[in-house]
Amino acid sequence: MFSLLGVTTLVLAAGLPRLVRSAAGQTNLKSPENVEVYIIDDTFSLKWNRSNESVTNVTYSVDYKTPEIDEWIKLPDCQYITSTKCNFSSPDINVYEEMKLRIRTEKGNNASPWYEVDPFTPFQQAQIGPPEIHLQAEDKAIIINISPPGTEDSIMWAMESSSFIYSLVMWKNSSDVETRTETETVYARAKIHKLSPETTYCLKVKARLRWQTKVALYSPVHCIATTVENKLPPPKNIQVIAKNQVYVLKWDYTYENVTFQAQWLSAYLKQIPENHSGKWKQIPNCESVRTTQCVFPQNRFQKGIYFIRVQASDGNNTSFWSEEEKFDTDTQTLIPPPVINLKPINNSLRVYIGAPKVSQNKSVYQHYPLIYEITFWENTSNAERKIVKKRTDFTFPDLKPLTVYCVKVRAVIEDAKWNNSSVFSDTVCEKTKPGNTSNTWLIAGICTVISIPAVLYVVKVLWKFILYVFFPSSKPPSTIDQYFSEQPLKNLFLSTSEEQIERCFIIENIDTISTIGINQIDANHKKFNSQTSQDSGNYSYEDENSGSKTSEEFLQVGTM
């Protein structure tokens, strides 16, 4: 950067008198027209048209400016050039920052006004150049090695070199046009299988970024011929099956008396643009095997994505490697069936789902987001109910009492990308309890027996009350009736002021009469008291006639 600034300072010092003189003189020069910027990989190109073809012996100069530098700086390799194109690239340019360019026409001491190009960001405007290709032929396959666009010290793609993916177009050379083309997405090192021996194939490749939409250029066409067919064909139909705590690697092969070996490679290495042929590793227990399968422990592979290949050998001849089989530990891992426990609760069944335990009492489900598919049915019926639960404990309510129900469950990985599930668990059956129905009826019966007499008693009392209030009896009680038989009823309705009082007569100096009178009165009074003591507490008196009659009797006795 400092060397660029030093050169720029010298250029500015040398050019300053020229600018001053051109400004002082008269000029008819016009600025360039149709100025455009092209960027392919790390190469910048500025193109323009002459504004006046009749004017000859003119030169052009270009300046640039970035946000970090507020002054215009002369662009190296683009000063006083005679052509209408300028190529430049500088390691000091930040491709992610906005950049400005300006250009003018010069002749002698005269110069046109500056023409400023619209601001642009180099990375956004850059196109992806053609990648480099190296081919290697087999009898039925072609190995392709692709180098990413740009140079090894590329500034434009320094952060994106591992993000390139490649599109391939391939065809047989026997066709004059690109018929029967096949477009595939391949890694930087790929192998195209299922080709014909001793046949020439042509192809071209272009690179593109995973998350960017950019213009990309195809590489030049490359052609290569496949070799003579090999004596031993490579194994086919490679597959990996998870079983318990091991992986079973299987393949198909038609020849006998051969041995096989299998290798693996981490998938992330495929994305690195380099030759990784020496990074394949031997799978344990899968070397020099004479069967078309081998078994290796799951714990030898961490969670991830791998590629697996197999090769055959008869001692004298060796086949080419098979097609590479992609192997994802998540999708290949066998999920064991869950463990079920049922607990009857009245007329319900409580279901508990557990996971099998492995070494150190760890659950095999701890690394997977699982859901559970439950199949439930009555033991005497073929009608099944299927539900899906995330919980490991739940209840089937409102079941028939004293009935046998059966349940089976399988675990399913919830993430759709895995698309994996266990087999169903063993079927577990359980009989429901009697429930609360019989107890309810018993309690209801007891309550009914107890409540009937109480209800009848309440009804009887209520009925008597209604009769007493609304339909009273016309015959008074016996005590009242006895009293009313001796004394008129009207006396009951007399006010206190109207009540009769007993009349007394005082006879002086008549001892005999007084004694008799008093004794008789006492006798009558006792008789009155004995009669009235049986009533309700109201005192009654004889009428006036009886009173007067008594008085007369006293008088008669007195005269005698």
Render the burial of 146-169: b for 16+ CB within 10 Å, e for the rest. bbbbbeeebbbbeebbeebebebb
Whether 33-125 shares its CATH topology with 236-328 is answered yes
Domain assignments of the chain as residue spans, ordered by start: 33-125, 132-226, 236-328, 339-432
User: What's the pLDDT at 478?
Assistant: 65
User: What's the pLDDT at 545?
Assistant: 44
**Mean pLDDT calculated for residue range 359-384:** 76
CA distance 394 to 409: 13
**Residue 536 pLDDT > 50, yes or no?**
no
C-alpha closest to that of 115 among 174, 185, 50: 50
User: What's the pLDDT at 52?
Assistant: 81
CA distance 518 to 520: 5
Architecture of domain 132-226: Sandwich (2.60)
Q: How many CB atoms lie within 10 A of CB 421?
A: 16
**Mean pLDDT calculated for residue range 542-558:** 43
User: What's the pLDDT at 334?
Assistant: 66
Number of alpha carbons in the 13 Å side-chain half-sphere of residue 300: 13
**Residue 29 pLDDT > 50, yes or no?**
yes
Specify the CATH number of the domain 33-125.
2.60.40.10
**Mean pLDDT calculated for residue range 59-84:** 89
Per-residue model confidence as pLDDT tens digits over 157-191: 888 877 888 999 998 887 655 544 556 788 888 88
**Residue 282 pLDDT > 90, yes or no?**
yes
**Mean pLDDT calculated for residue range 192-196:** 90
Please give the CATH superfamily to which domain 339-432 belongs: Immunoglobulins (2.60.40.10)
Regarding predicted confidence, which is higher, 276 or 247? 247
Beta strands in 304-458 (DSSP E): 305-313, 325-328, 339-345, 348-354, 370-378, 384-389, 393-396, 404-413, 428-431
C-alpha closest to that of 391 among 363, 354, 429: 354
- Compute the Cα dihedral for 193, 195, 197, 199 and give only its sign: negative
Per-residue model confidence as pLDDT tens digits over 475-513: 666 665 555 555 554 444 444 444 455 555 565 554 544
Render the burial of 237-268: b for 16+ CB within 10 Å, e for the rest. ebebebeeebbebbbebeeeebebbbbbbbbe
User: What's the pLDDT at 359?
Assistant: 45
| pLDDT band at residue 441 using 50, 70 and 90 as cut-offs | low
CATH 2.60.40.10 is held by the domain 236-328: yes
Element (H, E) at 75: none
Regarding predicted confidence, which is higher, 251 or 482? 251
Phi and psi, residue 298, nearest 5°: -70, -30
Per-residue model confidence as pLDDT tens digits over 410-429: 988 776 555 677 888 999 99
User: What's the pLDDT at 90?
Assistant: 65
Per-residue model confidence as pLDDT tens digits over 465-478: 787 777 776 666 66
Question: Quick one: DSSP state of residue 435?
Answer: T
List strands edge to edge, sheet with 33-40. 33-40, 43-49, 85-88
CB 301 within 8 A of CB 262: no
User: What's the pLDDT at 514?
Assistant: 42
pLDDT averaged over the chain? 77
User: According to DSSP H, which parts of 412-486 are helical?
Assistant: 437-470, 478-486
Element (H, E) at 212: none
Per-residue model confidence as pLDDT tens digits over 330-353: 776 667 788 999 999 888 899 999
Number of alpha carbons in the 13 Å side-chain half-sphere of residue 93: 23
**Residue 126 pLDDT > 50, yes or no?**
yes
Cα 364 to Cα 44, 242, 308, 338, 422, distances in angstroms = 57, 14, 25, 10, 12
User: What's the pLDDT at 327?
Assistant: 85
